[in-house]
Structure 1
Amino acid sequence: MGKIFICSNKADTKSSVVVLELPTSQAAKDAFREIRGRNPKLSLGVYGSRDLETFKRTQRTLGVPKVVRTVNDFVASME
């Protein structure tokens, strides 16, 4: 498996999706715990894919996601 993606809808609109791209499963576990600690009510989805383009192609129902690479950017996008 190439990368791990954590996804969530923005709070203000359900159509806008933010995706956190992570390189390893351990980084994803740590990020998931940190995000849950900051915002326990946030609905999260965790996916694995070879790369970002494959992820977008297989998850077309998500629309055009905003991709971030740090937990701080992800949490800031959710507010």
Structure 2
Amino acid sequence: MLFTPAEICGTMTIATQSEIHWVRKMREDAGLTQEKLAVAIGVCVSTLRKWERGQVEPSLPIQQWVKFASAVNVPFEELPVKITNAA
């Protein structure tokens, strides 16, 4: 089963074109390149780039959300708050 950030967070603010997308912000805050984060969570770099451009909303199984949280140094339980704050 795949989950979007909105499903994990309940509700979420969508980043506008002028804002840095929350995926990019969390990745940069963790000091990761797009390539390193993509490998850590098991997605293609092109997919990650689409997320960061806001072209596609991430939709991952819980196991990959756990890997995402770990890669960006956020406890999984705190991920909804961090996503909402970064958006």
Q: TM (normalized to structure 2)?
A: 0.26
Q: TM (normalized to structure 1)?
A: 0.28
**Structure with more of its chain in strand, by fraction:** 1
